[in-house]
Amino acid sequence: MYNRFDGMWRKLQTYQSGEELFGLPTTDYPDLAQIRKELNLLQKLYKLYNDVIDRVNSYYDIPWGEVNIEEINNELMEFQNRCRKLPKGLKEWPAFFALKKTIDDFNDMCPLLELMANRAMKPRHWQRIMDSLKHTFELESEGFCLKNILEAPLLQHKEDIEVTIM
């Protein structure tokens, strides 16, 4: 779509240059200018959206014992800053809300993950978490990754988990 529009935009510029060359009044196409503006905004939004999705998906493969919550928090903070810096016009688009929700949800999970990754966690804590979530974690499994934790409904039971661990 963007390449097709790019071709149309180049033709517009060529035609306008021709009009100027022959001393004709330059024809404006406000709809094309608006479409160009919106496509440029969409490119910014989807670049950040893809960066966030790619990074969050990469977290899923981190072995549970190697999870670095501080690093994840820093990356999420960077994404939030980039999100805030997006042009105001983008902040009303559904794709922006989806992006913000992805960042905010993961950001809300980080304190829980930090508590759960604490070395002081005992099997009894894990058992209580599993009971309140009605979800089983195979902690001793060789391939146990962050993905296995994130599959559980953590945010829906955030308070229960915090109480259980504290």
Q: What is the pLDDT of residue 52?
A: 93
pLDDT value of position 78: 95
pTM to 2 decimal places:
0.74
| Domain-located, residue 71 | yes
* Domain-embedded: residue 97: yes
Q: How many domains does the chain have?
A: 1
Which tokens hold the place of 150?
Answer: 């994130």
Predicted pLDDT of residue 1: 57
Within a domain: 19: no
Domain extent at residue 141: 48-165
Q: What is the DSSP string of 53-66?
A: HHHHHHHTTSBGGG
Question: Which residues in the chain come in under a pLDDT of 50?
Answer: none
Rounded Cα distance, 100 and 106, in Å: 10
Question: Is 8 contained in some domain?
Answer: no
Task: Give per-residue pLDDT as tens, 98-133.
Answer: 999 999 998 888 988 988 888 888 888 888 888 888
